[in-house]
Each structure stands twice: as structure tokens, then as C-alpha cells.
Amino acid sequence: MMQDYTIYNGETIKKIILNTTLEVVQQNLETGDEYIAGEHPDDQYYIKNNTFYAFPVKPDYPCNFNKITEAWDWHEQASWDELRYERDKRLRQDVDPVVTNPLRWSEMTTEKQLEYTNYRLALLNLPQNTTDPRNPTWPSKPS
């Protein structure tokens, strides 16, 4: 009977073989390899104590799955790096095209120039003014 199989070794999913026979899977096992019927991709399943488990829903911040606690561990530095990346992108896209263009800048009212100046400063100060990089309060872009 043709079926999908997942090949694993210890707690590592090695590969998935689709639409094959058990005999073919058994002939291609390497030393220490085991198999399980079904498709178990390593981005959806992990192995602990020779049992497959589906990962819980992954948070939307940088993290890795901890098999011991069976929970997602937050990567704080990666969150700070993402915050700075997004901040720099907003500076490049929202601020730089306006403030570095002398013609656009000179045509703006003093009030509008002040809005852009304050927006730029708020973006630059965002990392220092944020306690949790997973949930920053982004300043409002001038309209």
C-alpha cells in the first residue's frame, strides 16, 4: 500500500517520503533511523521521548521552541533588532524623502516641518523609550 512516511533519528526529523511503500522505506533506512506513517514536517512537529507532538501556536515575536518546557522562549535581542529594523525602515520611507529634499522641505509650513522633526525624533528615541520591544508604541506619521 502506498503511503507517506516520516524518517527520523532520535529527536531529529530527517525527511519525509511521500507516496511510497513500507518496503521501500525500510530498505532506505540508515543506522539509527526510525519511521512513522504520515507526513510530519519539522516546522509543524517535534519529537520528545520518541513521540511526535504538534508545535503550539508560535507567537509573532522572535522565539525558539524549548522541548524541555514545551514552550516558546522569547529572543529578546532579536526583538530589539526587529524594532530597530522597523524604525530604520520608517525613517527611510517616511522621513528621509521629505526632510532631505530641500524643495519639499521649504514648501512646508513651519508647523508641518515641526511635525516631521518631532516624528523623526520620536522614531530615533523609540528604543530608549520602549520597555518591551514586542509591543512598542509607534509614533504617528505626519499626514
pLDDT, one tens digit per residue, over 104-135 is 999 999 999 999 999 999 999 999 999 999 99
pLDDT at 28: 86
pTM (global) more than 0.85 = no
pLDDT, one tens digit per residue, over 59-104 is 999 999 999 999 999 999 999 999 999 999 999 999 999 999 999 9
Quote the CA–CA distance of 140 and 143 in Å, as a whole number: 9
pLDDT, one tens digit per residue, over 27-57 is 989 999 999 999 999 999 999 998 999 999 9
Backbone φ and ψ for 130, nearest 5 degrees, come out as: -115, 130
Domain boundaries, the chain: 3-55, 76-125
Residue 46 is placed in which grid cell? Answer: 517535534
